[in-house]
Structure 1
Amino acid sequence: MLIGVPKEIKNNEFRIGLTPKSTQVLTQQNHEVHVEKSAGLGSGFTDEDYQNAGAKIIEKSQELFSNCELIIKVKEPQTIETKQLQPNQILFTYLHLASSQKLTQELIDSKCISIAYETITSDTQGLPLLTPMSEVAGRLSIQAGARCLEKNQGGLGILLSGSSYSNPAQTLIIGGGVVGYNAALIANGMQSKITILEKSEKRIEVLKKEFPKAEILNIDQINLETIISRFDLVIGAVLIPGSQAPKILQKKHLGLMKPGSVVVDVAIDQGGCFETSRATTHENPTYIVDDVIHYCVANMPGAVPRTSTISLNTATLPYIESIANNGLSEFLKSSNHHLNGLNTFKGHLTYKPVAELFDIPFMDPKDLV
């Protein structure tokens, strides 16, 4: 199969869809890999690294999109890229369609076959290709929040860990899944005082064992208005797979928070779990609403591309191999978990939560493949 890896063009996105190591795995199986010139530099991989792995370096992305059967990316295609997608071409990347009706329609109109990393499922009810970046984003959320709390960033001027002579900052983590767990891991390591809100009683028990000093509360049994004023840093880590995130933190809550406190919305890829959230970039990561600093960067792991690219590719490579070695039809038919990844197919929307959200006709993928 002819596989194309374009350079990511989203603001300050330095990850790449394939590492040289993964490229070599594919070329040794007689697949042809084309990589756009300089695409790997942000992750620390040179064109020579890819050439040594058996790839061909392509000057412009247009050539990749025109000729390759399978396009491997990291982030959702930008409009300039969706215009280059070909009918029947396979696109394998993060899509997060629930956050953009425009992108959804562009993919439908392109008649490509788009498979989203984040909606592929597993036997353990997990999201195996979302998990690596959720881990990174959760850990980064605390680093970003701690930085925003500094006075020169407009924050409260407090150290997350406190010191021997002052109290640590109080951190609220809304959601105790992969993102929330990893945020708690770093916050705990930095000696912040942690509160986690979680819905699942089973998950609450796990979190209590992992973080015995943290306060773990059932989100359905707590009134956010009664506790929100305590916190210096709030992390939004709520996920409904494939759908828009619920708006847990509302504008009315901001008025109860301390001026200079910080909110970090990791769910912004899915529309955000704060009412006042809007997507930002690494170039301009923050804005202020009611004296509360908002950090809502939609591609947080792009800030640590070396770590992120290697982590992501470790997870995605077996799926890429399966598509390339067995063909798309066999890949989709072999597992309902794979089929759950199919978001658009030759002009049809095949992911039900997005179809319902945007009132676009839904086509059952089982009827198409």
Structure 2
Amino acid sequence: MSKSLSPFTKQQLLPQEEKLEILKRKGELFIGIPKETAYQESRVCLTPDAVSALVSNGHRVLIESGAGNNASFSDRDYSEAGAEITKDKAKVFSCPMILKVEPPTLEQIGLINPQTILISALQLKTQTKKYFEALASKRITALAFEFIRDDDGTYPAVRSLSEIAGTASVLIAAELLSDQKDGNGLMFGNISGVPPIEIVIIGAGTVGQYAARSCMGLGANIKVFDNSITKLRRIQNNLGKPLHTSTLQPKNLTKALKRCDVVIGALRGTNRSPIVVSEDMVKTMKKRAVIIDVSIDMGGCFETSEVTTHKQPTFIKHGVIHYCVPNIPARYPRTSSVSISNIFTPYLLKIAEDGGIENSLRFDRGLKNGLYFYHGILTSKPVAEWFDLKYSDINLLIF
């Protein structure tokens, strides 16, 4: 009888021990933090306390000298926290992982090594096609922190900065109302025998909620307008106090604008903020009343709005003071830096704990939501549609 032919050896046919997947070894991060060079950008991604937490977990942080100066964090603060300080910008950009607040310029992308991990804001509406082509040529893996999503579906970076913008809008309004700033000399505050000032807030999202909370604490009368009944109900519940709310009906809004001393515009749109306050409506407002257009970065919700800067933040039109600075949180760089750092630090520690960004992206849907480049492959559909570029579904690349 002929011997049967088998594709397996006798050893291979014997029962084998079960092989279990071994957990990935904890990764060590080497993070570079360059000094921000964008106009009027004074924030920094990590505070000295955050650097200390990372260094104590075995990671390295290289910071460009002076990166935290505008946020009142000195090189010495970072050095004592365990960071390495350098004046060589190229050395910082050569780190395997780079953290920035603003997206890097084309010149800075030229300094980045291939296969680097970049975490920064994306600011889609300010970008060009060349920016994405430059990232692709360097095979960079890039995450936009404003698109990273929490387990509850919220965007922590956007929410934190919106909280700052909402509170700041009231502080700015209080300053502009004073006689020193060409205002009408009114003061926020529930002063005995003095009628409280009238505030109109357009938009009941996070910015509107924190603006309303600050106004309420200062004793002002508040009227909140939004077309979402759900948001109006939520702001009532979150503030725990009855307040005047209304949908955006022109008649009611015009009536409120005639009487108010301050109006805060915090209405966002999908592509552009809807203009809900016409020029004719602005003309009916009190002389030296104040408009704070927080949504100016999305086009603004006042027809009379024009983009201003932190150096020249206001202009007067039809007798009304307009404040239309797009980047309000940068006015308070230390608070904003701490807020951004609180978001970055847990994610960085988790990426290291997971054994690298590959594993984190595999299991963390919220982090994956912020990814727009994976080893030079565009993975964001909105970016691809906006700039007419090819993209690949990240779920086909990571599984």
With normalisation by structure 2, the TM-score equals 0.80
Q: d(CA) in 2 for partners of 1:82 and 1:222? A: 51
Q: d(CA) in 1 for partners of 2:299 and 2:389? A: 18
Match in the other structure for 1:207: 235
The answer (yes or no) to whether the contact 2:200–2:256 under 8 Å persists in 1 is no
Q: Which range moves more in the overlay, 197-206 or 121-130?
A: 197-206
The answer (yes or no) to whether the contact 2:106–2:134 under 8 Å persists in 1 is no
Q: 1:57 to 1:135 in 2, by over 3 A?
A: same
Pick from 313, 317, 329 the counterpart of residue 358 of structure 2.
Answer: 329
The answer (yes or no) to whether the contact 1:108–1:346 under 8 Å persists in 2 is no
Counterpart check, 1:44 vs 2:69: no
Counterpart check, 1:117 vs 2:159: no
Helix, strand or coil: the match of 2:157? coil
Match in the other structure for 1:96: 123
Which structure would you say has the larger Rg?
Answer: 2
Q: d(CA) in 1 for partners of 2:371 and 2:229? A: 31
Q: 1:113 to 1:249 in 2, by over 3 A?
A: farther
Q: CA deviation at 1:69?
A: 1.8
The answer (yes or no) to whether the contact 1:268–1:297 under 8 Å persists in 2 is yes
Q: CA deviation at 1:344?
A: 4.1
Q: d(CA) in 2 for partners of 1:354 and 1:259? A: 43
RMSD of the alignment, in Å? Answer: 2.9
Counterpart check, 1:106 vs 2:135: no
Pick from 93, 98, 101 the counterpart of residue 74 of structure 1.
Answer: 101
Q: CA deviation at 1:172?
A: 1.2
The answer (yes or no) to whether the contact 1:108–1:345 under 8 Å persists in 2 is no
Helix, strand or coil: the match of 1:219? coil
Q: Which range moves more in the overlay, 163-172 or 138-147?
A: 163-172
Pick from 357, 365, 368 the counterpart of residue 394 of structure 2.
Answer: 365
Q: 1:74 to 1:163 in 2, by over 3 A?
A: same
Match in the other structure for 1:287: 315
Counterpart check, 1:180 vs 2:205: no
Q: d(CA) in 1 for partners of 2:79 and 2:105? A: 27
The answer (yes or no) to whether the contact 2:109–2:134 under 8 Å persists in 1 is no
Helix, strand or coil: the match of 1:123? coil
Match in the other structure for 1:64: 92
- Aligned ranges for residues 304-319 of structure 1 at < 5 Å? 304-319=332-347
Q: 1:176 to 1:50 in 2, by over 3 A?
A: same
Q: CA deviation at 1:135?
A: 1.3
Size of the aligned set, in residue pairs, is 365
Match in the other structure for 1:216: 245
Q: Given residue 264 of structure 1, which amino acid in structure 2 is its aligned partner? A: I
Q: d(CA) in 1 for partners of 2:212 and 2:62? A: 40
Give the gaps of 5 or more residues in structure 1: none
Q: Percent identity?
A: 35
With normalisation by structure 1, the TM-score equals 0.86
Q: Given residue 124 of structure 1, which amino acid in structure 2 is its aligned partner? A: D
Q: Given residue 161 of structure 1, which amino acid in structure 2 is its aligned partner? A: G
Pick from 26, 29, 53 the counterpart of residue 54 of structure 2.
Answer: 26
Q: CA deviation at 1:33?
A: 0.9
Q: d(CA) in 2 for partners of 1:256 and 1:224? A: 11
